Amino acid sequence: MEQQIHSDTALREKARTFLPGGSFGNAGADLVIVEGSGGRVRDVAGKEYVDFLLGSGPMLIGHRHPEVIEAVRRQLEHGTTFFANSAPGILLAEAICEAMPCAEKIRFTSSGSEATLYAMRAMRAFRGRSKILKFEGGYHGMNDYALMSLAPRRRSNGTEPIPDSPGIPEAIRDQMLVAPYNDLDAVTAIVEEHHDSLAGVIVEAFQRVIPPRPGFLEGLRALTERHGLPLAFDEVVTGFRFAYGGAQEFYGVVPDLCTVGKVVGGGFPLAGLAGREEIMAQFDRDAAGEDGFLTQIGTLSGNPVAATAGLATLGVLREGDAYARLFDNGRRLMDGLASAMRNAGVEARICGEPCLFDIVFTGQPIVDYWSVENGDKAKAARFDAVLLEHGVLRGKGKFYVSVALTREDIDHTIGAFEAAAAEIARH
| Active-site residue, 262 included | yes
Distance of CA 183 to the CA centre of its chain: 22
Find the catalytic residue in 51, 234, 256, 384: 234
Among 297, 363, 303, 271, which Cα is nearest to 72's?
303
- Phi/psi at 235 (5° precision): -110, 25
Find the catalytic residue in 49, 51, 131, 139: 139
Among 281, 275, 302, which Cα is nearest to 293's?
281
260 in helix, strand or coil?
Answer: strand
- The identity of residue 359, as a single letter, is I
Return all residues near 369 (Cβ < 8 A) that are at least 6 apart: 135, 136, 137, 152, 180, 181, 207, 210
DSSP letters for 180-215 = -TT-HHHHHHHHHHHTTTEEEEEE-SSBTTBPPPTT
| Active-site residue, 47 included | no
Q: Give yes or no for a contact between 102 and 274, defined as CB atoms under 8 angstroms apart.
A: yes
> How far is 242 from 292, CA to CA, in rounded Å?
35
CA distances to 112, 198, 264, 394 from 267, in Å: 13, 35, 8, 17
| Active-site residue, 139 included | yes
- The identity of residue 208, as a single letter, is R
Q: What angle do CA 32, 37, 42 make, to 5 degrees?
A: 25
- The phi-psi region of residue 56 (left if phi > 0; otherwise alpha if psi is between -120 and 50; otherwise beta) is left
Find the catalytic residue in 134, 262, 379, 398: 262
Which positions are annotated as active-site residues? 139, 234, 262
